[in-house]
Structure 1
């Protein structure tokens, strides 16, 4: 087939040589202030292994007094200058350890009024002035290591106790807010100390009523800031960001291009007297009451009542409006202040807030111990409006919601796709920070490919390490070895990382020119989340829709209420956030900001569109825009939809012109993108353990190209209207299709499985074996790993070697059926190939008759070495080396 011209291949240049925006990025963990030689050596190493962007992050092993010190800033400038020499991009990771805003405690030092201030409450039936109180506020689920660096001297203490509101309300059936009696002036603090307060009511509590008192206090020891105060963000910039940016202005923006914030949030406090609908304390500022009153139309005290009690028909509305005001104030104060500074400075703002869904599909399936409404952890569309680029985080190496939601909020704000930070938490032990030194490059690669299919542009690894820590010390965090391991540059398979990095960058660049074909829009239930809280069914229903649609190979995106309310409807489709959908999902939505979204969905349904709903149905609109009621026409299921129910709904979607059907028991990961000129881009990936396949079908014949992310090659294939693709385990394929001039039907089959001449030799038995830097060679079986044969705690590279007799001259192939975990092969000292993941198959080239020396080098993980003599080892050792005999295969006889 004739090759297409360069002009017909959008994105070809960035595919062959992807720019930094597509290359992997990483946090560079500084455990101490490095010297120039360390900076130069490590940055060169990171570049050699395919990283394009590095963010310096001071970790807990570094004394907090070193952070932002003169030596730290000098080393920081040295590192950025070296990165510029190497052509690396950098960004400012904006704080010590994490939780942006405290600047290692410098923001609040000498400015106590900026420390976090919280609102606590107590509801009881105390009678006739009996004394009650708040005691003691504590941080829930936070380990001693985190408490030690977030609080001065590890002490959680309070001051400035102040009654902000007090109400009397009936304990009987829900009542109207007008029946609530404000008694703030009759309530007073009678004693207080660093751990709590006591207060008294000067009146009498009527029979059948409850006194609820809301008390604020400021922490005297917390290094965290009050995110409701714009002056706290300004002070953070003054002491945390400007000292870094000032000596680096010559590198802005070419080398130093952005600031990255990480999980800004105050403490998630609980206390003995907590009650009601809200699971944690609220931040408080003097400006909050007026913001809440303007949003709800009620006094601050009565609006607060709805957070603790049922107050009749207005309860859901008041809760949603309260958090709309609270979140808006927080977003503008912190993110808005940061954005204005970034724009004045000439750099971009990015980063990620707390994601309660991290490592899960359910909206609140990750951080289940917190109430996300008290933090920037619900209004993802609103937070993203302040960023220049979208970022999220992902925990562990499983498919999850974060990248899909990140891509969605980016598109709603005029961008697309996102950066995804990945960190590992331990699976073998409750100490999550011990991480996963057992991580393989194959696992990391599969995870990153799935993230790309879900909406990621750039992967951010957490992190690459300055040091690998100390032996025989299981202390989390302060021993760098167990600070959310692994530091992948200390993994034995690290020299293979560049193979994966190039492939990942090209995959991302391949996807860039196309918009995802996502027939289904899932409504993001913001006001429902605010009103109902994280334990409501909307969170679970979101997860069920996501997982079911993915299982069926039906892509989807999230849409905000404002985008859906303003959506265009035509020909049975609805256009929102720059994408066109055939169906809209309402996942147990109960509360909306306005009824405009229902009117939009009514128009969509009348035009032939599909509205699917599950669980609860809308019953509250905080604002009535149209003045008329809406009748929601939807296909409804009382509970979260089953896979069978979903399959029936998906089968009714209109044909968009391209379909992918699996021809294997486990469906491969797929992504379909539409080009503006009518072309298609398709990604297929088999992340399973067995070979399989899929069929890509079109309504008419298409011109087909295969773009190889491994090496950047672009090859023309035969025209076809059906392409059958055979996929080996862990095989990734990228295709581009354009309408073909020829009519008619045709089919094509693509397979990378080698065709052999029938001659093969199993290389079983005993091999010679040596370890890198170890003693003289030993003899090992290739039927079991070296950890079972005398090298239990060895992590590194092991060398298997033997002589092989070639009796037939020709092209030979070596198949390594099982290896743990990265492999390179040499014949007669000639390198034949390197692989970090399956299939471990190597072309040996043309071998003449005679005796040849075959060497197989295998690099395992660091787990057996670093978990030795720690509680993190568990009851197993990681498999290492070869665990099945290799096989020689004759491909073509001379």
Structure 2
């Protein structure tokens, strides 16, 4: 061997030895860890109080004993309010002493306090004080009635109106097929003492009446304490509620705000715009506020009276625009007047605004109670939901039990508006005799994988022992401590198709759950829910985006946009979709292709753009085709073998790795091969035990395949550390 060969050989040996040392160092670093993954691993073993559950309860007669029980069960704190007393809610001094003792019992143990902002629910009444001396602040509605008249010549009409103050009465020309058209004739001045006396000319007419009155009978208000409710679109009413409630708490114990006292909890405030009793009411109604006409004109440029008849009747080509303009306006009215005011007060006083909306389970309910939920969700610091049961009906979903759409709505809003924390009020209808702790943990795993990350509980206090509560709180805390860090990752955005619901939504005088009264709107709602479930069952995670988000450019962070039975879009939305496609994004339409323009403007221009885009879209008619269409668009972030529709996952991108929370919603353990679109050293973190361990991974095509067994009704983290 020549000296040159020997020298080269020696160099190769040295180089190989150096590479081996580097690899060993890298592996050692991976095992020991640094950065956020290491920090989370240390926190995972014993998560802090802010990630653990809070009972919505406190025994104020025995505060120290109750505080000791909280500590023994590893709770994160408690959620409670001033207990009232002879002097009144938020006034009685003995009640304040009890409240102070409860706060001190939590403070001395390092536990958090959330304040429940009402005496009962829904929030806004201040125990009835908001409306005392201010009846003008009560919730209002426009009650609708109509009468068709076929006049062979000029005809006198005498018609008894709904009780209240007539806001707008008009005679609308009527076609042979029942469509109103042309310019209505204003008859409001012809109404006196609850009766319309008017003359209509020869022709077919629909006389419509919109009468303002208090919004109470048949609504959420009488079934929640029997007291009238406030108008959440009235800024002055909301300001009074804040002064009577939040400000009093601050004046009494403001020194603990931002320290022991962390949040105010707001419960089921709504427009009261849908009926919630089984008795059929005399008239359908839409929520109203005396300032709404000015808001509407400022947003749309025209008089709200032009839109009102179209809320209940087909008004031809303008029907969709009128309905969408109305519901869009009330969406922002309630968000700005109520939820925004509360959030701004909380922000100024160093506490978070949290809580949940009313009847989040269906798009039809959203229309009745909020218009759209996204503007209101944007105004919570910690947006939330309630999931009051624990059975399969809660997770599978229907228009009564929302299933995965409810937590996904909340987490989508949190991602969209940059809110790291979300909340669930859970377990109101749970009995230990029917529900072992394992099922409660399974419900938490299901909610957390869908984006919830903090828990308040109802009605289970005292049903389980401290060891069981520690198991629940350890699991909840560990999962939350990871899922509140890093950045959520999803390839897909799913349109929140609210305009397609508004287009065919007609308020009913029956319980809002009678979705048969809204067949076309119901079909959109059903398709949206089914597409959501199918994507999750195929391990395709997503965010919902409303049209405001799309128009503001938020599609850029996704690779795929799914349009579930979307029939209606704004022109601005369609233009953003075109930009998305031109930049390489993929669009999947399901069942229908948008064909109706939501806003004012040329329908032909809209149709022409849809025609240009159609060849670039992927269209699927059935849910079974959806996964294959997704696969053609982008390689999955997680592939499971064998396939299992009970597996959901959430991916968080960390600064030096990736964390995947993999949940098995089935009852039995599942063992399979999980292929992740990730790099780094693989580890399994078990939230039931707090243990972490490195595991082997097969590397191919830039992905890692790990063999994992996921317990039934539970989940594990698969973490990749770089």
Do these two structures clear the TM 0.5 threshold for a shared fold by scoring above it? Answer: yes
1:385 aligns with 2:378: yes
Q: 1:64 to 1:326 in 2, by over 3 A?
A: farther
> How much does 1:302 deviate?
2.1
2:581 to 601, 605, 611: 605
Partners of 1:707 and 1:53 in 2: CA distance? 25
| Alignment partner, residue 403 of structure 1 | 407
What TM-score results when the alignment is normalised by the length of structure 1?
0.66
* Pairing 1:447-458 to 2, within 5 Å after superposition: 447-458=443-454
CA deviation map 1:328-387 (0-9, x unaligned): 222211122222322333322222112331xxxx545xxxxxx543422x4222112222
**Residue 372 of structure 2 corresponds to residue 375 of structure 1:** no
Match of 1:312 among 295, 316, 333: 316
**How far off its partner does 1:66 sit?**
5.5
Q: Give the secondary-structure state (helix, strand or coil) at the position aligned to 1:502.
A: helix
Q: Of 206, 211, 225, which aligns to 1:215? A: 211
Structure 1 match to 2:508: none
How far apart are the structure 2 equivalents of 1:529 and 1:453? 28
Tell me which residue corresponds to 2:652.
Answer: 673
Which residue of structure 2 aligns with residue 757 of structure 1? none
Conserved in 2, the CA contact under 8 Å of 1:708 and 1:733?
yes
C-alpha contact (below 8 Å) 2:386/2:425 kept by paired residues? yes
Bigger proportion of residues as helix: 2
Q: CA deviation at 1:58?
A: 7.5
CA contact (8 A) 2:140 2:213 kept: yes
Does structure 1 residue 560 correspond to structure 2 residue 546?
yes
Distance 2:549 2:372 in 1: 14
Establish whether residue 182 from structure 1 lines up as the match of residue 205 from structure 2.
Answer: no
Query: Is the CA contact 1:64–1:96 (under 8 Å) kept in the aligned structure 2?
Result: no
The residue that corresponds to 1:131 in the other structure is 159
> What is the match of residue 493 of structure 2?
521
Cα drift, residue 659 of structure 1: 3.0
Give the Cα–Cα distance (whole angstroms) in 1 for the partners of residues 242 and 203 of structure 2.
53
Assess if the C-alpha contact under 8 Å between 1:162 and 1:216 holds in 2: yes
Aligned to 1:18: 47
> Paired residue for 1:648?
628
Aligned to 2:512: none
Residues 73 and 469 in structure 2, CA contact (< 8 A), matched pair in contact too: yes
Query: Counterpart of 2:243?
Result: 238
1:4 aligns with 2:32: yes
After TM superposition, give the deviation of residue 419 of structure 1 in Å: 1.1
- Name the CA distance, whole Å, in 1 between partners of 2:609 and 2:178: 26
Structure 2 spans left out of the alignment, 5+ residues? 1-26, 150-154, 217-225, 396-402, 506-514, 700-704
Aligned to 1:438: 434
State the distance in 2 between where 1:331 and 1:499 align. Answer: 38
Query: Which of 254, 259, 282 is equivalent to 1:254?
Result: 259
Distance, in Å, in 1 between the alignment partners of 2:270 and 2:299 is 23
Gaps of 5+ in 1: 136-160, 191-197, 365-370, 427-434, 464-486, 569-573, 740-894
Matched with 1:732 is 715
Partner of residue 322 from structure 1, selected from 301, 323, 326: 326
Report how far residue 558 of structure 1 moved: 0.8
Rounded to whole Å, the distance in 1 between the matches of 2:87 and 2:631 is 58
Deviations 1:256-286 (A, max 9, x none): 12211111125456697867xxxx4223222
Alignment of 1:588-599 (within 5 A): 588-592=565-569, 594-599=570-575
**C-alpha distance 617-395 of structure 1, shift in aligned 2 (>3 A):** farther
Distance 2:259 2:33 in 1: 32
**Secondary structure at 1:226's aligned position in 2?**
coil
Q: 1:273 and 1:686 mapped to 2: Cα distance?
A: 44
Secondary structure of 1:390's counterpart equals: strand
How many Å separate the matches in 2 of 1:211 and 1:436?
57
1:311-344 CA-to-partner distances (Å, cap 9, x unmatched) read: 1101010111011222222221112222232233
Q: Deviations over 1:763-804 (max 9, x none)?
A: xxxxxxxxxxxxxxxxxxxxxxxxxxxxxxxxxxxxxxxxxx
Q: C-alpha separation between the residues in 1 aligned to 2:609 and 2:243?
A: 51
Higher relative contact order (CA 8 A, sep 6+): 2
Which sits farther off after the overlay, 623-632 or 548-557? 623-632
Change (3 A) 1:682 1:301: closer
1:707 counterpart (678, 685, 688) = 685
SS of the residue corresponding to residue 130 of structure 1 reads: strand
Following superposition, the deviation at residue 692 of structure 1 comes to 2.6
- Pairwise CA distance, 1:304: 0.8
In 2, Cα distance between the equivalents of 1:206 and 1:294? 37
Structure 2 residue aligned with 1:394 = 387
Structure 1 residues 225 and 167: CA distance shift in structure 2, 3 A: same
User: Which has a greater percent of strand?
Assistant: 1
Aligned partners of 1:702 and 1:720 also within 8 Å: no
Residue 169 of structure 1 corresponds to which residue in structure 2? 172
Relative to the length of structure 2, the TM-score reads 0.81
The answer to whether the aligner puts 1:507 opposite 2:479 as a matched pair is yes
Please give the alpha-carbon distance, in whole angstroms, between the structure 2 residues aligned to 1:720 and 1:541.
Answer: 38
* Alignment check: 8 A CA contact 1:169 1:180 kept: yes
- CA distance in 1 between counterparts of 2:87 and 2:43 reads 41
Q: Which residue of 1 aligns with 2:99?
A: 76
* Pair 345,737 (structure 1): closer, same or farther in 2 beyond 3 Å: closer
Q: Is the 8 A contact 1:29 1:58 kept in 2?
A: no
Instruction: Indicate whether 1:539 and 2:525 are aligned.
Output: yes
